[in-house]
A and B are shown apart, each in its own frame.
Chain A
Amino acid sequence: MAVNLELTQEKFQELDDYVDALPETKGELIKVLHKAQNIFEYLPKEVQIHVAKKLKVSTAKVFGVVTFYSFFTMEPKGEYDINVCLGTACYVRGAEKIAEAFSKELGISVGETSADGKFSITGLRCIGACGLAPVVTIGEKTYGRLTADMVKDILKDYK
């Protein structure tokens, strides 16, 4: 697997160093979670508990923030993260069908990662490319005006 998901001591140390360098930790939970996700690639329980202790806030609060913002993820993303925009414009032009097609092809639901760690599907709110609706991004690449039957071909590039 290309992405290193191990929860190593070094990563926790890096996060602690970041927090210790903040002039004030109060009100910085979201910023710290961003950093944590950047370091660990995802936010498993262990990381959330660690952040809660470090910032002296309740774990419930950390979990509340992590589950509220779709940017944060408790599941490690795949090597190729398929971001399906589910914003209003994409939605009315059939984004749900596109998401379903990816799910069917890969055998995983939105929010999940394939067992080999290669693919994950993420549902996003508006990414600001409504003119291309329905739109999907994979890494740096953007695929616009999609139909469900195009999904198979797109995946060929990554398999």
Chain B
Amino acid sequence: MSDINIIVDDKKVSVPAGSTVLEAAKAVGINVPTLCHLDLHDTKMINQSASCRVCVVEIEGRGNLAPSCATPVVDGMVVKTNTIRVMEARKTVLELMVSDHPKDCLACAKAGDCELQDLTERCGLKGDSISGKTMSTYKKDYTPSLIRDMDKCVMCRRCETMCNKVQKVGALSGINRGFDAVISAAFELPMEDTVCTHCGQCVAVCPTGALTEHDHTWKVVEAIADPTKTVIVQTAPAVRVAIGEEFGHEPGTIYTNKMVTALRKIGFDYIFDTDFAADLTIMEEGTELLARLQNFLDGGEGASLPILTSCCPAWVNFVESQFPELIDIPSTAKSPQQMFGAIAKSYFAEQLKIDRKDLVVVSVMPCLAKKYEANRDEFKVDGDADVNWVISTRELADLIKKLNINPDELEESEFDKPLGVATGAGVIFGTTGGVIEAAVRTAYELRTGKNLPKIDFEELRGFDGIRVATVDMDGLPINIGIAHGLGNAKDLLTEMRDGNPRNIHAVEVMACPGGCIGGAGQPYHHGDSSILKARQKAIYEVDKSLPIRKSHENPAIVELYEKYLGKPCGHLSHELLHTTYNIKEKV
């Protein structure tokens, strides 16, 4: 297709047909302000509701102002983005938006990260010149993962687009009209009673404080301050390649060892690594995969393939509520977070000779669904959760800042033993394709008894929403499917349900775009998907830099089985490290 030539603010620009005026302006360095618009190219998330009208521009020959985000370019178009008419309209739009917005910005959870606040500053909104009815009609809705404060909603519909078009969960919709219009679940039910998976991607794209994580940092501070408790922490793989952003570093900065020291300064008694538990997950899930595969190859009764990974809690919620037909195929292995909790409160508590109730397990996760997961009844013993508190990457950064700690100035240090010993296979759990690559590394060697000719499975890596590749297990071809983003997972799963034409044996799913690196608890990307790619690159760098890159070679894991668990998928493993799933009919 030929390019279209237009003029934006006296600058000539040539862009492909189908581009928007906003994109054309951007191409010549003109940054038109936007609010509702969001385009995460790599994940094919685009919100183009044109509902906020912040991005309006003047187009020669057109009577009214045009929303640049949703107006396609036409040859010969002459666009002005900064006339007095445009600026006045933009200011009025913002004034109206702010007129019924709660004025508690100083105490808002989104303060400093709020796109509405940035805009009002940029567009010169001085003082509140329009006053009128304030919304304040909606009750806050709390789930273990997130908080919806709809008085702060500006109806940009990003959350709705994310939930329905990208994730294809369908928990949200715009309801009512006029002043009563709001984004809501069906029948205005609390989110916990709906098909919501708690993936939190709505939070990741919300421009204001309407959607935020359920903050648990203070619970952690209280636990640390309690002299009767031993408090340990685990950090997920994706946290280390993102938390640096909160301290002014480039996306993709590997911040592991500064973070470990900061955690020590906060006062945790032991600093452990979820990567250790990821290695443990591979032992259990890999063994289960091999057993199910063998049973399938032998034509065993009830042999069900494909096997689905079960590390991602939002994904588990999704299967439970939307794919009852496939409830039997996810691996029964718990997620690394929950395996860590179960081992910490048994094996490790026994080593410390303390009661499990005196051991507080804290997780730092890139994820909001992990908060929900930790709260599930399946993962509690006599009411005591295996993982007591889950905080997000953002919450950990906030906590570090709250305690006047500057991690840049700290010495680097290592995770503690034994639950902090991990391999490169554990690290790559943080990105799409990583869990299944880690599983294949181990399954190959366990099945064939041979050393892997090549550790890096490039064919499993990448950023495409759905990827299918065949891995050669020393003569046995294994077909692997990978999906990230629940919408892609839904498409792949539908294919499985409808006969599995590509004969896929194993499927990895991560609910968030990019996998955990794009989790809803990570520093806000504000629509810049290059940040996710930088984090992914860093994950593979960490993997490459580690001396051991296969889970079954992790010495702490070997010792755990020798001293405590016996063998993978053995009796004690089943008790501690596996779980069951239940169909949940929800609307």
Interface residues of A (CB under 8 A from B): 45, 48-49, 52, 57-64, 67-68
Contacts and interface: CB of A to CB of B under 8 A. Distances in A.
25 contacts: A58-B164, A58-B169, A58-B170, A58-B171, A58-B173, A59-B186, A59-B587, A60-B173, A60-B185, A60-B194, A60-B587, A61-B170, A61-B173, A62-B186, A63-B175, A63-B184, A63-B186, A63-B187, A64-B174, A64-B175, A64-B184, A67-B175, A68-B175, A68-B176, A68-B177
A64 B187 CA distance: 9
A49 B175 contact: no
| Pairs of residues from A and B, 10 with the lowest C-beta to C-beta distance, nearest first | A58-B170, A64-B173, A60-B173, A59-B186, A59-B587, A63-B186, A67-B175, A60-B186, A64-B175, A67-B176
Nearest to B585: A49
A67 B184 CA distance: 11
B184 A60 contact: yes
A131 B177 CA distance: 27
Contacts of B169: 58
Nearest to A70: B177
Contacts of B195: 58
A54 to B, nearest CB: 14
Contact of B172 (A45, A60, A67): A60
If over half of A's interface residues share one DSSP class (helix, strand or loop), that class is named, otherwise mixed; here it is helix
A57 B336 CA distance: 34
B302 to A, nearest CB: 29
Contacts of B172: 60
A113 to B, nearest CB: 18
Nearest to A68: B177
Contacts of A57: 170
Interface of B: 164, 169-177, 184-187, 194-195, 587
Given A48-B187, A58-B171, A68-B175, 7 more contacts: A48-B186, A52-B587, A59-B187, A61-B164, A63-B184, A68-B176, A68-B177
Nearest to A74: B187
B170 A60 contact: yes
If over half of B's interface residues share one DSSP class (helix, strand or loop), that class is named, otherwise mixed; here it is loop
A107 B78 CA distance: 60
Nearest to A65: B173
Contacts of B185: 60
A73 to B, nearest CB: 14
A61 B171 CA distance: 8
Contacts of A67: 175-177
B496 to A, nearest CB: 18
A67 to B, nearest CB: 4
Nearest to B170: A58
Contacts of B171: 58, 60
Contacts of A61: 164, 170, 173
B171 to A, nearest CB: 6
Nearest to B587: A59
A11 to B, nearest CB: 20
B197 to A, nearest CB: 13
Contacts of A45: 187
Contacts of A63: 173, 175, 184, 186-187
A106 B187 CA distance: 27
A59 B184 CA distance: 11
Nearest to A58: B170
A58 B186 contact: yes
A103 B171 CA distance: 35
Nearest to B175: A67
- Of residues B175, B176, B194, which shows the largest number of chain A Cβ atoms within 10 Å of its Cβ? B175
